[in-house]
Amino acid sequence: MLIAGNWKMFKTQAKTRAFCAAFEPPGGVEVVICPPFTSLGAAVESGLTVFAQNVHWADEGAYTGEISAAMLKELGVSGSLVGHSERRQLFGETDDGTARRAEHALGAGLRVIACVGETEAEREAGATESVLRRQLAPLPRHEQLVIAYEPVWAIGTGKTATPELAQDAHAYIKTLIDAPVLYGGSVKPENAAELLAQPDVDGALVGGASLDPDSFAAICRAAA
């Protein structure tokens, strides 16, 4: 069971150190935190497993604002998210770009959590499976790849997929790719145990609830 906390654009280095000092991960569950780029070093100092929130597909070059796998590895970072729905919606990330980022990071020895999921309009149109097929098709097949299913309509909205909906989506994803699948979409201490009990849910990608050490620890205990 893998629980990853995506901090998005929250926490300075000082706040990252304070979180790490207060957070006590339970045994029996793998825990990853994904701070913003400026706080990666401070998080690595804590001894926790640290992933970046994004990674570029080239080792170096004229890519203003981007960070390479080699730069992350030098910091002691273990992996990266790619293709998060906010990257897709707000910054124009594509399925192909996500796959290129994943392939390069995996080839460089980083682990990767690749995010997929449908919008509310796509779900209402009955297009969930076709969207997941499209997003998963270009991704490399690799033993260090993890998929995160994030129904876009459940991210930061307070809405959560029912355990049954999550299970159905996870089971479908596993017919398309042989990889662990995390659920991401308003995971909280109150709903974590029920979601994580589903047979094809292999962990969680936690957003807002991962910013508080006690809340995040409660979700990790539910997984353990």
Annotated active-site residue 84? The verdict is yes
* Residues in Cβ contact with 35 at an 8 Å cutoff, skipping those fewer than 6 apart: 7, 11, 16, 42, 43, 50, 53
Task: Exactly one of 84, 86, 118, 170 is catalytic; name it.
Answer: 84
Give the Å distances, CA to CA, from 140 to 93, 112, 149, 192. 17, 11, 16, 29
Task: Exactly one of 86, 103, 118, 150 is catalytic; name it.
Answer: 150
Annotated active-site residue 56? The verdict is no
Please, are residues 203 and 4 in contact by the beta-carbon 8 Å criterion?
yes
Q: Is the dihedral of CA 38, 39, 45, 50 positive or negative?
A: negative
Q: Dihedral through CA 108, CA 109, CA 113, CA 115, nearest 10? A: 20
Please, are residues 67 and 41 in contact by the beta-carbon 8 Å criterion?
no
Catalytic positions = 84, 150
